[in-house]
């Protein structure tokens, strides 16, 4: 039987492509495993702390009974039971703390692998490997073209006329304070994130790979994979953004307008009119899986 050399070479090429594809996604698969372990440990820690709290309630009841039966034959027995339960409670709290710390450690390792994994899959496309930042272009810190969701009557005309109270002369603030929520010190502002239910992994960056312009409509690139590191194609994505503690969201409605390559999406219509803590949310629907990706920005 004659040997079909062309078919053999084609088969070898397919095998090599498959091997390279698996090698490209191995880090994201490892990240997925670590993040899922971290989630399981966090759930276990919550259960353990819950059991410790239940024991605390029992101990409080026993301590109350102990006071009621002070000086009687029942008192020593009540003291003994309460002490035993308290020892168990302390052990459970220590176990819960260890589980939570282990979960945090695994999550940190998994998040680090997310970044390395995306750079492995898209080595020539991803340019931003640090956090998002504002461009150094001089711009006003706030624009007034926000989409106001609700305003309390006491805030009407506040930004035009200033506060309606007399400020002491020794105050250094010459403008009304905004009621925005301060960003936590440990806020995760990484551009590489996992979705809430760990169905998807994603990375975002400005289309030009540079900083974010204030008060300017610009574009982003979104890279999206599943939990095995495979690019997610033809996903339906809804995008929203807001500032925690403020009464407004984005002044625009960002939209995915194009899929540049498998798993690589162009996002248009993004504009930030204020500096501060922004939360960007990407609701992703693909096949039968719906999940949400959240990115924190400190601009």
pTM for the whole thing? 0.76
Do 208 and 114 reside in the same domain of the chain?
no
Picking from 71, 102, 121, the residue at the C-terminal end of a domain is: 121
Q: Would you state the pLDDT for residue 177?
A: 44
Strand order of the β-sheet with 289-298 is: 236-242, 277-286, 289-298
Positive/negative CA dihedral, 257, 17, 35, 101: negative
Q: Would you state the pLDDT for residue 225?
A: 98
Is the pLDDT reported for residue 85 higher than 70? yes
Q: Would you state the pLDDT for residue 210?
A: 84
For residue range 119-153, list pLDDT tens digits in order: 999 999 999 999 999 987 655 555 545 454 444 45
The total number of structural domains that make up the chain: 2
Picking from 87, 121, 155, the residue at the C-terminal end of a domain is: 121
Percent over 70 (pLDDT), the chain? 77
Do 104 and 202 reside in the same domain of the chain?
no
Domain presence at residue 221: yes
For residue range 234-255, list pLDDT tens digits in order: 999 999 999 998 877 999 999 9
Q: Give the residue with greater pLDDT, 82 vs 17.
A: 82
Strand order of the β-sheet with 218-226 is: 192-194, 200-206, 218-226, 264-270, 255-261
Domain presence at residue 141: no
Picking from 103, 121, 139, the residue at the C-terminal end of a domain is: 121
Domain presence at residue 151: no
Q: Would you state the pLDDT for residue 53?
A: 97
> Helices 74-121 and 5-68 meet at what angle, rounded to 10?
160
Domain presence at residue 110: yes
Domain presence at residue 168: no
Is the pLDDT reported for residue 113 higher than 90? yes
Q: Please list the helix, strand and coil fractions of the chain in percent, rounded to the nearest 5, in that order.
A: 40, 25, 35
Confidence of residue 296 (pLDDT cuts 50, 70, 90): very high
CB 134 within 8 A of CB 214: yes
Q: Would you state the pLDDT for residue 237?
A: 98
The whole domain housing 267 covers 192-298
Domain presence at residue 135: no
Domain presence at residue 148: no
Percent over 90 (pLDDT), the chain? 72
Q: Would you state the pLDDT for residue 59?
A: 95
Domain presence at residue 157: no
d(CA 130, CA 133): 9
CATH of the domain at 226: 2.60.40.10
Rounded to an integer, the average pLDDT of 192-208 is 97
Residue 288 has which token pair?
């039968």
Q: Would you state the pLDDT for residue 192?
A: 98
């Amino acid at each position: 039987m004659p040997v079909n050399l062309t078919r053999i070479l084609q088969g070898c090429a397919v095998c090599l492509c498959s091997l390279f594809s698996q090698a490209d996604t191995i880090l994201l698969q490892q990240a997925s495993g670590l993040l899922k372990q971290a989630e399981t440990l966090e759930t276990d820690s919550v259960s353990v702390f819950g059991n410790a709290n239940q024991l605390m309630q029992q101990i409080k009841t026993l301590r109350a009974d102990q006071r009621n039966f002070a000086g009687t034959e029942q008192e020593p027995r009540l003291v003994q039971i309460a002490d035993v339960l308290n020892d168990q409670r302390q052990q459970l709290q220590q176990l819960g703390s260890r589980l939570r710390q282990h979960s945090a450690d695994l999550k940190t390792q998994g998040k680090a692998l997310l970044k390395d994994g995306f750079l492995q899959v898209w080595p020539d496309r991803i340019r931003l490997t640090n956090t998002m930042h504002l461009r150094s272009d001089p711009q006003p810190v706030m624009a007034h073209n926000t989409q106001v969701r609700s305003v309390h009557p006491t805030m009407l005309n506040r930004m035009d006329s200033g506060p309606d109270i007399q400020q002491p002369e020794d105050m250094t603030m010459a403008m009304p304070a905004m009621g925005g929520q301060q960003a936590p010190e440990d806020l995760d502002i990484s551009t590489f994130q996992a979705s809430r239910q760990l169905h998807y992994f994603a990375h975002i960056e400005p289309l030009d790979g540079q900083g974010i312009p204030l008060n300017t409509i610009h574009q982003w690139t979104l890279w999206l994979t599943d939990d095995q590191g495979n690019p997610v194609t033809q996903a339906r994505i809804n995008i929203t953004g807001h500032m925690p503690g403020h009464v407004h969201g984005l002044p625009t409605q960002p939209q995915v307008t194009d899929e540049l390559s498998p798993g690589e999406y162009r996002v248009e219509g993004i504009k930030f009119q204020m500096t501060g803590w922004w939360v960007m949310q990407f609701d992703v629907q693909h096949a039968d899986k719906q999940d949400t990706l959240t990115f924190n920005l400190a601009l």
